[in-house]
Amino acid sequence: MIRLDFSNILTEEIGHNGLSLIEIENEAKKSISLLSKKPYKELDFINLPFQDTSQIKELAKKARDYEYFIVLGIGGSALGPRVLLEALSPFNNLRKKNRVFIYDNVDPATFKYIIEIIDLKKTLINVISKSGSTAETLASFLLFWRMIRDRKLDVRQHFIFTTDSEKGNLKMIADEYEIPSLEIPKNVVGRYSVLTPVGLLLSEVIGIKSEELLEGAKEISERAYRENLNENPMAYLASCLYLMDKLKNRKVLVFLPYSDRLKTMSEWFCQLWAESLGKEGKGTTPYPSLGTTDQHSQLQLWMEGPEDKVILFVSIDNHGFQEEIPQEFHDIEGLRYLGGHTLEELINTEQLATEMALRMNKKPNMKIIIPKIDSFIIGQLFQFLQITTAMAGLLYGVNPFNQPGVELGKRLTYGAMGKRGFETEGEEVKNYLKRQRYMI
């Protein structure tokens, strides 16, 4: 089970930079009360661990017959699958089958490199967009669609759509061309969708049992509404991060896992936190980091830079590799002291030393502790962070499930690209490009 250590955020540990336990517990109780009222239908993501995955498994069985599996999506539709790939099958693409490419950023060079590697006859393409209107995803879909058709291949054998079950462009195409489809549940938004077919299809394709992910998440979901704070670490974490902002003006949240396998989890969490909470002038800025790497690039700033950060460690008890470092060069102290220890000892000691250094300098930090990295624990961690984020949104008094600040950029893109109904935005883009620029 995931544990949360918030000792180093208390006043008795870091003095005036810290919070009192009673402050934290009062807000934690408030977050549970707010969540229990279920003010948003999108809180349905908490029930995802109880879903039926038989259709996902059926399509995944078909997908495993292909050499290449391409995911087209962006935001939560790409980051969630990427976390699963890198955390649970990090060198998957060295295998001969089920090699995965996640194409999200519509960088034309990346598209070119993927096309040069894959054989379309041996490729299955999973197009993910709940709305069916995501410009980046649809553009890459159109390119692949044309190439599949140009080669006289059966589109039904080379595409799977993951989208809305009732409406949208992808739904219309799926109905017309009999494309196999999986449903993103009606009340689940993109950044909370990793435990839907968005992530579960990929997991099954690369040999990760979706039921293990969901079993882990279920343990967390069952705690979400519990009023006993000792059984609800998400409420504690949401409370601490909210109060660090409101009472201590700590506006930057550094997410710092000590595992290469969780590097993309940092990026996934930062999208979740930023897009859920950054509204109405509220929220904090999440910063993705990686231990021990960023001890050699960011730690100086955390220790002696602006007093605006909270560090959230993720430490792993058992990394799954216990090879001992050889005892060589006994006369060179710079090498001798490492001998007889393991890489796991070293990475965990570096995490502990960084935690202690921050505490000794009165810098607020907390630690999520996971026993190991496997599908059960990753399912727990996803749901733990999602529920924490939703609770924090309720404490801030914002809707953690919308993203109104994203819409204007979309409309301007539609206008510039000539989409009907967005002519005004198209003119605004033209006028913007005509204005006087100051450049050197």
- Counts of helices then strands in the chain (DSSP H, E): 17, 10
In whole angstroms, what is the distance from residue 288 CA to residue 194 CA?
Answer: 19
Q: Tell me whether residue 296 is one of the annotated catalytic residues.
A: yes
Inter-residue contact 375 to 212 (CB < 8 Å): yes
From the candidates 16, 37, 152, 296, which is the catalytic residue? 296
Helix segments in 256-374, DSSP class H = 263-277, 299-304, 333-336, 343-360
Q: At what angle do helices 108-117 and 135-150 cross, to 10 degrees?
A: 30
In whole angstroms, what is the distance from residue 49 CA to residue 214 CA?
Answer: 5
Give CB contacts under 8 A, 24+ apart, made by 349-352.
350/258, 350/291, 350/292, 350/295, 351/258, 351/291, 351/292, 351/313, 351/315
181 bridge partner residues: 161
In whole angstroms, what is the distance from residue 152 CA to residue 47 CA?
Answer: 42
Q: Tell me whether residue 341 is one of the annotated catalytic residues.
A: no
Enter the tokens of residue 372: 């190991």
- Which residues, including other chains, have CB under 8 Å from residue 418's CB and lie 6 or more apart? 426
From the candidates 42, 86, 136, 275, which is the catalytic residue? 275
In whole angstroms, what is the distance from residue 180 CA to residue 218 CA?
Answer: 28
In whole angstroms, what is the distance from residue 183 CA to residue 201 CA?
Answer: 11
Measured in degrees and rounded to the nearest 5, phi and psi for residue 46 equal -65, -25
In whole angstroms, what is the distance from residue 70 CA to residue 352 CA?
Answer: 39
Distance set, CA 71 to CA 6, 20, 124, 165, 260 (Å): 38, 46, 9, 19, 22
From the candidates 29, 30, 410, 419, which is the catalytic residue? 410
Measured in degrees and rounded to the nearest 5, phi and psi for residue 289 equal -135, 175
Q: Work out whether strand 309-316 and strand 252-257 pair parallel, antiparallel, or are unpaired.
A: parallel
Active site amino acids: 275, 296, 410
